[in-house]
Amino acid sequence: MSEGKAKKIRRMDGPPVAGRKGVLRITDSAGAVRSTLHLWPFFACGLCGILCCATIAFGQGAAPEPAIPSGLIGPPRAVQPTHVVRPSPVPPPPPGPALPILTRYNGSYYVIPERSDSTILAIDAVLKRVNLFARGTARNRLNSVNPPCVLVTIQVIDARTVALGTDQWPTWRQQLDGTPIRWRRNHREEYNVSLRLSPQGVLEQRFVGVGGERINRYILSDGGKTLEMEVLVVSPKLPRPIRYTLRFARM
């Protein structure tokens, strides 16, 4: 470089020159280039950050690939639920032979009038406490639905089924678990009739209607020669229940 040019460059690196609007600093062009190269890494880092943000924002809609554990060539399969084998329902066992206490009821029985209570007297004894004007209607009603039975027939089918009937109502094959049978006595009277064997070995037959219910308890006496029918009539219209007993001889 010539001496003139060197002086000129040194002259440009001199102190700042005061101008009209402020101080004007004369810089070297080579120094400006060196300053720009010194700031280039910061611009490069900023550009990389912008590119990374754009890449992440663009890929948000795609589901990430599942991580594959080491040693596997593909993602693990979902665990399948264990198939549960349910046993088929077992049908109930057939009814076994009837109990000896139940088979004793087998037979037909005929009423013994002289050893039986009067149904009319039993009803009148309760109606004495009923209003005089309603007593006649109540007496006719109770006598019609509680006629004295003359004949009783009992047939034990198996340990769970008994056929029982009288001359005043049909003979039904009834389950001893108390399952009711719907019986229409006439166009105005309907009853649910059920039968069960009590723990004491007594057959209990129940008639349930709208106006009340009647319970017949069949008890063997005299070594099985006599059948007693204990009758209980209950109604909310009566001051107290009606009770009487009919006795039958085995035929």
Give me the residue label for tokens 């924002």.
57
The average pLDDT across 70-78 equals 53
**What letter does residue 34 receive in the DSSP assignment?**
H
- CA 8 from centre of chain: 106
Inter-residue contact 185 to 192 (CB < 8 Å): no
Helix, strand and coil in the chain, % to nearest 5:
30, 30, 40
Looking at the chain, the domain(s) classified CATH 2.40.128.20 span 100-250
pLDDT tens for 189-236 read 899 999 999 988 899 999 999 889 999 999 999 999 999 999 999 999
Q: What is the model's pLDDT at position 43?
A: 53
Q: Global pTM? A: 0.61
As its CATH architecture, domain 100-250 has: Beta Barrel (2.40)
Say what percent of the chain tops pLDDT 70.
61
Q: What is the model's pLDDT at position 211?
A: 86
Q: Is 133 helix (H, G, I), strand (E, B) or coil?
A: helix
pLDDT tens for 148-180 read 999 999 999 999 999 999 999 999 999 999 999
The average pLDDT across 80-102 equals 66
Q: Which of 80-84, 112-116, 139-143, 145-149 has the lowest mean pLDDT?
A: 80-84
In the β-sheet with 242-250, what is the strand arrangement from edge to edge? 169-175, 161-166, 151-156, 107-111, 242-250, 226-234, 213-221, 203-208, 190-197, 181-184
Please calculate the CA angle 49-51-53 and round it to the nearest 5 degrees: 70
